[in-house]
Amino acid sequence: MSPKQLLTGVVIAAIFIFVSRSAFIVDQRDQVLVMQFGNIVSDGAITNPGLHWKLPWQNTVVFDKRLLASDDLPNEVITKDKKKIIVDSFTRWKIIDPLKVYQVAKTRNRVESRMQDVVGAKVREVLGQHTLHEIVTGGEGGDKRAALMVSIRDLADAEVANLGVKVIDVRIKRADLPAENSDSVFRRMKAERQRIAKQYRSEGEEAAKEIRATADKESKFLLADAYKQSEIIKGNADAKATKIYASTYEKDPKFYAFTRSLEAYRKSMATQSRVVLSPNSEFFRFFETSK
């Protein structure tokens, strides 16, 4: 190999190294700072995606541009009505000023944990001014909960502005009672259910009694009405019969009395009667004499 060829090889290698050290890609999801000996040389962060150039000795620091998720640690909150709840929240945030983030915290993780501290403090501060009922149910109208989350976010956001990040959203994921309070809730739930069960059974008895009594009443009504009707029917019939008898017997009351008496004798003395007779009676008119 001639010195010329060697020189050419070296130049090619140098250019290759130069180019590969100078080009860098900015992803659509990222924002990039260009650093030189620990100082930021780019004019703010590079946010437009594509191929970019820098000097070979410069280096880049990449920050995310997207909405970032951060799961906060559960906070123990004493509410306004002195009840303890465990609040688990989550935060969505963005790095809006990578320069500041780099200056204040260097890395994303460190700025995230600072932000979480702020959010946690605001969660305790805001929720501490409200009652458990308001926090859990959202108060009257049910929109209190949303309003609380907005005010936590705004307070936290104001405080993290100097970190170069923006809090987009803070949301209460869970607001639970600690174990000792849950116990009393469970006891209350038990008592309440026992009350409801008892109520159901009593209502059943009440309804059953009413149904039975109504049935009894109705059947008595039916029988009474039937008795009434039957008496009316019988009475009418008796009246008719009496009329018939009267109009007939009135033709000869004496003869009626006679025949009716005979009929009565026949019926009343039908069996084994004991009769003490006088021989002077009409029947024995011819008993002792034939005249």
Partner 1 sequence: MPWNQNQDNNPWGNKPKGSSGGGNKETPPDLDKVLKDLNDRFGGFFGGGKGGDNGGSPEVSKGMLITLIGVAFVAWLASGFYKVEADEEAVVLRFGQHVDTRSPGLNWHLPYPIETIEKIPTLSVQRLTIGFRAFADGRTRKMNQESLMLTKDENIVDISFVVQYKISDIQKYLFEIDATQAIQTVRDAAESSIRAVIGSTLIDDVMTDKKAEVEAETRIGIQKILDAYNAGIRVTTVTLKDVQPPERVSKEFKDVASAREDKERAKNEAQAYANGVIPNARGEAKKKILEAEAYAKEAEDRAIGEADRFNSLLQAYKKAPEVTRKRLYLETMEEVLAGADKVIIDSKIAGQVLPYLPLNSAGKVEVK
What is the footprint of partner 1 within residues 23-82 (CB under 8 A)?
23, 25-30, 48-53, 64, 66-69, 71
Residues 140-169 as x/- pattern, contact with partner 1 by CB under 8 A: --x--xx---------------------xx
47's CB contacts (< 8 A; 6+ apart) are 26, 31, 65
Q: Choose, by CB under 8 A, the member of 57, 275, 290, 291 that binds partner 1.
A: 275
Q: How far is the CB of 165 from partner 1 (least distance, A)?
A: 14
Handedness of CA 251, 257, 258, 262 (dihedral sign): positive
Helix (H) or strand (E) holding 3: helix 3-22
Task: State yes or no: residue 222 binds partner 1 (CB under 8 A).
Answer: yes
Token look-up 């170069």 returns 164
Answer whether 57's CB lies under 8 Å from 87's CB: no
Cα–Cα distance for residue pair 34/54, rounded to 1 Å: 8
Nearest one of 84, 91, 92, 38 to 61, comparing CA atoms: 38
Q: How far is the CB of 171 from partner 1 (least distance, A)?
A: 4
- Phi/psi for 46 (5° steps) reads -85, 120
Cα–Cα distance for residue pair 69/173, rounded to 1 Å: 13
Token look-up 């700025």 returns 111
Looking at 33-41, 115-123, 151-159, 185-193, which segment touches partner 1 (CB under 8 A)? 185-193
Looking at 104-112, 114-122, 155-163, 213-221, which segment touches partner 1 (CB under 8 A)? 213-221
Looking at 37-45, 122-130, 152-160, 269-277, which segment touches partner 1 (CB under 8 A)? 269-277
Answer whether 99's CB lies under 8 Å from 92's CB: no
Answer whether 96's CB lies under 8 Å from 168's CB: no
Looking at 5-13, 95-103, 108-116, 123-131, which segment touches partner 1 (CB under 8 A)? 5-13
Cα–Cα distance for residue pair 291/287, rounded to 1 Å: 10
284's CB contacts (< 8 A; 6+ apart) are 277, 278
CB closer to partner 1, 106 vs 193? 193
Span 245-264, contacts to partner 1 by CB under 8 A = 245, 247-249, 251-252, 255-256, 258-259, 262
Q: How far is the CB of 57 from partner 1 (least distance, A)?
A: 16
Task: State yes or no: residue 283 binds partner 1 (CB under 8 A).
Answer: yes
How many residues belong to the site for partner 1 (CB under 8 A)? 123
Q: How far is the CB of 29 from partner 1 (least distance, A)?
A: 6
Task: State yes or no: residue 14 binds partner 1 (CB under 8 A).
Answer: no
Task: State yes or no: residue 231 binds partner 1 (CB under 8 A).
Answer: yes
Cα–Cα distance for residue pair 179/216, rounded to 1 Å: 55
Q: How far is the CB of 215 from partner 1 (least distance, A)?
A: 3
CB closer to partner 1, 103 vs 230? 230
- Cβ atoms within 10 A of the Cβ of 150, count? 13
Task: State yes or no: residue 113 binds partner 1 (CB under 8 A).
Answer: no
Task: State yes or no: residue 182 binds partner 1 (CB under 8 A).
Answer: yes
CB closer to partner 1, 158 vs 226? 226
